[in-house]
Structure 1
Amino acid sequence: MKHILFIVTSTNKTGTGQHNAGYEFSEIADPYFEFINKGYTVDFASILGGKPPFVGYDSSQNLSKKFKEGNGFKRLNFSHKLSDIDTTSYDAIFFPGGLGLMTDMVDNPLVKETIKQVYESGRIVGAVCHGPTAMLNVTLSDGSNLLEGKNINSFTKAEEEEDNHTLRDVIPFMLDEELKKQGAIFSHTKPFESYVKIDGNIVTGQNPASAGGVAVEMIKLL
């Protein structure tokens, strides 16, 4: 049996405008069911532990509704504190998106060390939408940046603009631009269409529509 750890933001406000933030609901629900339908175990950790904040719940999305009414959501709301987790017992880690982690994961030393250890051990690192924020500022054992020369994607500037996510007021930086600055080879498709990129043991997806696809590609690697 494979064990997957979802690492989730604990931040509920973002930007100078103090807008509501958290994890994007479907970006947990959709991959969760891809994993458990394969018989995998999914655990949840967050920066602070406990009940992480969320945005974007839509009851018309069948998987989101099913997740919210099921045991997965109950377990998520009692998430482990990341500092209490032994990540060596997991086959993969996954970072769902949402604006919250642009605050609490961009420079978090434990997040950086966790990604470094998982990546260097050959295990799978997955992220979707704003989730690749967690991969910024990760220094590997040889002193190089994790993102240097890696094929990566994430939520794009065009999508931020369509969502009226203005710099500083809503988001602290443009994620695609920061990924490129750290050496990522960035690619994307049209706004809000599914797009997944695989580079070795790193899997990234562009937007909410890509969340289930990231899990599917992670499963193939596992």
Structure 2
Amino acid sequence: MAPKVLVILTSHGQLGNTGHPTGWFLPELAHPYDEFVSAGFEIVFSSPQGGLAPLDPKSIEMFKSDESSVNFLNNHKSLWEQTDKLSNYLGKADEFAAVFVPGGHGPMFDLAIDKTSQKVIAEFAEKGKVVSAVCHGPAALVGVELSGGEHLLKGKQVTGFSNAEEDQMKLSEAMPFMLETRLNEVSEGKFVKADEPWGVKVVVDGKVITGQNPASAKGVGEAIVKAVNGG
């Protein structure tokens, strides 16, 4: 039976009070998706509200020359326009090998505080499944506590979109919190990042796999496949 990956997409489509749209970021799903398909994985798409998971239109423009992103955009719309409701997957971690959260700014506003998402991710972690996220996707991990009350990321090396990258995007003031700062707090000082902003950084600590930014998405997909296959 093919390993199954549960993808959790944001349902949030507004960038704070800026009036601009947001959502999930195209290459951060497209690149791992290609890795999962190549490995023969089954992929299930979910979001807190179900139905349409908003795609950040900026990511379409920014990655219009990226073959993987263009292919995913043109050929797989139903995957994010008809997501299952995340609550349907409570108590079903045993059916899956991994959970994966793509970034985009959307997760900062909903997945960071969504109790269902936190519970699903905690269940995956406690069942020994791979827990993975890229860029702003690790926002979904900042509030996850295990059944014993310990934080999922306590003492674990982790990465995510850095404060410098957020500053360069000029979006720090629109964020409900700074992801690097929060990840460093909950991991008790274990946040790591590439030597330069926008550099590739993939971190594997046990079954927790995180990537820093869009450039890290392919590597995260590769790391998930390797971990699921026992590498």
TM-score by length of 1: 0.95
Is 2:172–2:178's contact at 8 Å kept on the other side of the alignment?
A: no
Deviation at 1:108, TM superposition (A): 1.0
Residues 177-221 of structure 1: per-residue CA shift (max 9 Å, x gap): 011121340110111111100000000000000011011011111
For 1:38-85, what per-residue CA distance to the aligned partner results, in whole angstroms no more than 9, with x for missing partners? 111111101111111111113211001111122x33222111010123
Q: C-alpha displacement at 1:137, in angstroms? A: 1.5
Residue 222 (structure 2) aligns with: 216
Of stretches 50-59 and 122-131 in structure 1, the one that deviates more from structure 2 is 50-59
> Is 1:191 matched up with 2:197?
yes
1:37-186 → structure 2 map (5 Å cutoff): 37-55=38-56, 56-57=59-60, 58-70=63-75, 72-85=76-89, 86-167=92-173, 170-184=174-188, 185-186=190-191
Structure richer in strand, relative to its length? 1
Report which stretch shifted further, 57-66 or 81-90. 81-90
Moved over 6 A (4+): none
- Residues 80-130 of structure 1: CA distance to partner in whole angstroms, max 9, x if unpaired? 010123443111000000111111111111111111110011100010000
Deviation at 1:19, TM superposition (A): 2.6
Structure 2 residue 7 is the aligned partner of structure 1 residue 6: yes
Percentage identity across aligned positions? 35
Q: Which ranges of structure 1 fall in alignment gaps of 5 or more residues?
A: none
RMSD over equivalenced CA pairs, Å = 1.2
The residue identity in structure 2 corresponding to 1:163 is: M
Question: 1:98 aligns to what SS in structure 2?
Answer: coil
Letter in 2 for 1:61: D
1:201 maps to which of 184, 199, 207: 207
Counting matched residue pairs gives: 219
1:30 alignment partner in structure 2: 31
Structure 2 gaps, min length 5: none
Residue type of the alignment partner of 1:164? K
Distance 1:137 1:76 in 2: 24
Tell me, yes or no, if the aligned pair for 2:98 and 2:124 is still in contact at 8 Å: yes
Which structure has the highest helix share of the two?
2
- TM-score, normalised via structure 2 length: 0.91
